[in-house]
């Protein structure tokens, strides 16, 4: 589903991703944990091409969407292929980035009509169905300023889902929320996990990660230090650094 081969990324002299290798299978749920500055966000942003990579290859369902620009040993990247590959992914960020002048319903409709070429009627039906799924039917006509942070984040998730992604990427979806609003957002992600949506989730919610993930990646200094099933990483990690990190975050 996702193939990341030898991906490296620098910001000036700083190596932020250092030869990252990762394969994600269909229906697999991966959580990425690790200290601030480890490169977690950059990894997700590189997968969805919000950052260009300096080296390596990214493929989505066999479609090559990124590689080093000056590679002569690879086929050049085709724009249509990139567009097709990117359309298979949805991403949700810490900040919700909703359009403030549009209602909740309009926020979930807009990209459908522009990118997917759906009619207003089709887009509205789809938006209503998904808003119902994330429990926001009663907020359809509210504006973002009129709803809570947890509700805003559920709208952001609904907006991504309305594009029918095969893969969802979440970058700390609950970090900007008051503690009492975190649960409702995690609940929506959990429901997606039960439907076996393929997901990569950067999170500091360790219990949540442990509960829903098939695999945990621990990143530090631009590298995947260790990866494995939750019970292994949380109970018996090989790398002592993970133990220190977990002790610190859980205390």
Ligand X SMILES: Nc1ncnc2c1ncn2[C@@H]1O[C@H](COP(=O)(O)OP(=O)(O)OP(=O)(O)O)[C@@H](O)[C@H]1O
* 41 is a site residue for Mg ion (CB under 5 A): yes
* 203 is a site residue for Mg ion (CB under 5 A): no
Q: What distance in Å separates the CA atoms of residue 227 and residue 216, rounded to the nearest whole number? A: 6
Least distance from Mg ion to the Cβ atom of residue 169, Å: 12
Of the ranges 1-9, 41-49, 55-63, 176-184, which one interacts with Mg ion (CB under 5 A)? 41-49
Q: How many residues bind ligand X (CB under 6 A)?
A: 10
C-beta of 106 vs 171, nearer to Mg ion: 171
* 248 is a site residue for ligand X (CB under 6 A): no
Of the ranges 8-16, 128-136, 179-187, 210-218, which one interacts with ligand X (CB under 6 A)? 8-16
* 33 is a site residue for ligand X (CB under 6 A): no
Under 8 Å between Cβ of 44 and 200? yes
Query: Of 173-212, which residues contact ligand X (CB under 6 A)?
Result: none
Name the burial class of residue 101, with classes exposed (0-12), middle (13-18) and buried (19+) by CB atoms within 10 angstroms of its CB.
exposed
Q: What distance in Å separates the CA atoms of residue 174 and residue 184, rounded to the nearest whole number? A: 10
Structure tokens that stand for 59 in this block: 């493929």
C-beta of 36 vs 194, nearer to ligand X: 36
Q: What is the dihedral of CA 228, 234, 235, 240, to 10 degrees?
A: 90
Q: What distance in Å separates the CA atoms of residue 100 and residue 34, rounded to the nearest whole number? A: 33
Site string for ligand X, 40-69 (x = CB under 6 A): xxx---------------------------
Q: What distance in Å separates the CA atoms of residue 176 and residue 173, rounded to the nearest whole number? A: 8
* 38 is a site residue for ligand X (CB under 6 A): yes
Interacting residues toward Mg ion by CB under 5 A: 41
């Amino acid at each position: 589903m996702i193939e990341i081969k030898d991906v490296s990324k620098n910001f000036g002299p700083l190596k932020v991703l250092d030869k990252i290798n990762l394969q994600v299978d269909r229906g697999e749920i991966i959580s990425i944990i690790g200290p601030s500055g480890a490169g977690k966000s950059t990894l997700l942003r590189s997968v969805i091409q919000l950052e260009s990579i300096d080296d390596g290859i990214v493929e989505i369902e066999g479609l090559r969407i990124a590689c080093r620009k000056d590679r002569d040993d690879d086929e050049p990247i085709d724009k249509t292929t990139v567009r097709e590959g990117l359309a298979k992914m949805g991403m949700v960020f810490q900040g919700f980035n909703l359009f403030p002048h549009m209602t909740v319903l309009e926020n979930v409709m807009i990209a459908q009509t522009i990118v997917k070429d759906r009619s207003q009627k089709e887009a509205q039906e789809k938006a209503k169905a998904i808003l119902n799924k994330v429990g926001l039917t009663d907020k359809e006509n509210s504006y973002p300023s009129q709803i809570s942070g947890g509700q805003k984040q559920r709208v952001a998730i609904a907006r991504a889902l309305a594009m029918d992604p095969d893969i969802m990427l979440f970058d700390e979806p609950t970090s900007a929320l008051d503690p009492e609003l975190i649960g409702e957002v995690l609940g929506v992600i959990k429901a997606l996990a039960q439907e076996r949506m393929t997901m990569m989730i950067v999170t500091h919610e360790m219990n949540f990660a442990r509960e829903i993930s098939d695999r945990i990646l621990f990143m530090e200094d631009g590298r995947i230090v260790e990866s494995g099933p939750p019970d292994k990483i949380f109970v018996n990690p090989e790398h002592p650094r993970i133990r220190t990190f977990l002790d610190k975050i859980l205390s």
